[in-house]
Amino acid sequence: MTDQAAMGQEPVARPYPDKWPRESATPTVEAFHTAIRRLVAERLAASGKSWEEVVHDREFELTQEDFEKIEADLLATGYLFEISAVVSAQEAPEKYKPIAGPAAAGAGETDEDGRPIVGHGHNVFRAKADVEGTARFVSTVEKVMEMLMEGVPPETIAVIDDSGGTLTAPILGDFTGVVCMGGTIRSHLGILTREYGVPCLMAATLEGLQDGDRVTVEYSKPAADVYADAATATASRARIIKLS
C-alpha cells in the first residue's frame, strides 16, 4: 500500500526524500507517518532554513492541533479505527468500527456429547480441571464498579475485551475464570491471571456465547505454546462449551 492509498488518496510523488523504503506494518501507521513527514517537509521548505537550523528549534515543534488534524483527515476518508477496548467505542463512537460482539449461534460445532461449542482460546496456564460457571460480560467501568461494590457473583467466568488487565484489576482475583477476546498469553492480563491463579483463555473467538450462559471451559488443556506454528496453535486451543 502506498502512503497516499492509506489516506484514501491517489498516489503522488512524496514531498520528502525517500529515506524510508519500507512501508509501515499497517495502513493506519503508514497514514500517520506519511502525513507527519509531509507536514514537516512543507514547514521546512516554507521556513527557507536548513534542517540543522530548525531541528532543535521549538518554534517548529508539532502541536496537539497538528496531530488532531492528521487524525481528522484520516477519519474524513471514511476510515475507522479497530477497537482494543469497548470503552474506546463508547467514548468516541465516531472514530471506531461498531462492536460486532459474539456471532449469532447457528449450525455450529458441537462437542462429543452434542453440546454447542461457543468459543475457543489459548490457555495461559494448565488448570487442574475444566471449570464450569456462568459467562458474564465485563466490559465497562460501571460493571466493574457494580461487582466491586456488590461482590462478584459466584462462579463468574468473566468475558472481557483487550482492556481487561487494567479494567478488571480490582476484582480479577474474585473471578472463577476469565475469557479474553484479545491479547496473547504473554499479555498483561495473562501475567495477572497466572499470578492470581485464575484460569484464563486469551485471544478467544466466540460464536453464540451470551451473557448469563452456563458454560464449561477446557482450562485443563495444556498452556499455549507461544512458539508453536499456526496449525499447532489452532489445534491446541481450548473450547468453551455451552451447557444451558
Do 177 and 199 form a contact (C-beta atoms < 8 A)?
Answer: yes
Can you give the pLDDT at residue 20?
57
Can you give the pLDDT at residue 29?
86
Give the Cα separation of 127 and 120 in Å (integer).
16
Question: pTM of the entire structure?
Answer: 0.67
Tens of pLDDT, residues 43-101: 999 999 998 999 899 999 999 999 999 999 999 999 888 776 667 777 888 988 876 66
Give the Cα separation of 137 and 159 in Å (integer).
5
> Domains in the chain, please, with CATH?
3-79 (no CATH), 117-242 (3.50.30.10)
Give the Cα separation of 109 and 133 in Å (integer).
20
Can you give the pLDDT at residue 100?
63
Low-confidence ranges of the chain (pLDDT < 50): 1-13
Give the Cα separation of 48 and 45 in Å (integer).
6
Helices assigned H by DSSP within the chain: 3-6, 27-47, 51-54, 64-76, 86-91, 141-150, 164-167, 188-196, 230-235
